[in-house]
Amino acid sequence: MAARPKLSGLQKQVLGLYREFLRAIRLKAPDERLRIESIVSAEFRHNAITVDRKNFLYIEYLLRRGKKQLEQLKSPDTDKLTVLDAPQKPQ
């Protein structure tokens, strides 16, 4: 059995945040759970692909932003999640 590489502290924080999102999603209405989970999953996957792993400042910013969004999601007043598709800058 091959040993897995050790995770950095930042990687552990990102995975922890993702797990916290999944736990918070369980508290939402059953008809919204799948939709919210797909939005959260897509956001994490997008950032995993597009963000340079050595850009620590930006990753820390995303963690702070994610924690704020998690707190909003945990709020009993929040029952749905929406996504705004901002137009991408032409390259």
- DSSP result, 1-63: -PPPPPPPHHHHHHHHHHHHHHHHHTTS-HHHHHHHHHHHHHHHHHHHHHS-TT-HHHHHHHH
Of the chain, the percentage scoring pLDDT greater than 70 comes to 84
Domains of the chain by residue range: 10-74
What pLDDT does residue 91 have?
A: 43
SS3 75: coil
Q: In which residue are the tokens 């922890």 written? A: 16
What pLDDT does residue 83 have?
A: 65
**Is 13 within 8 Å of 63 (Cβ atoms)?**
yes
Over residues 51-81, the pLDDT tens digits come to 999 999 999 999 999 999 999 999 888 767 7
Over residues 11-25, the pLDDT tens digits come to 999 999 999 999 999
What pLDDT does residue 17 have?
A: 97
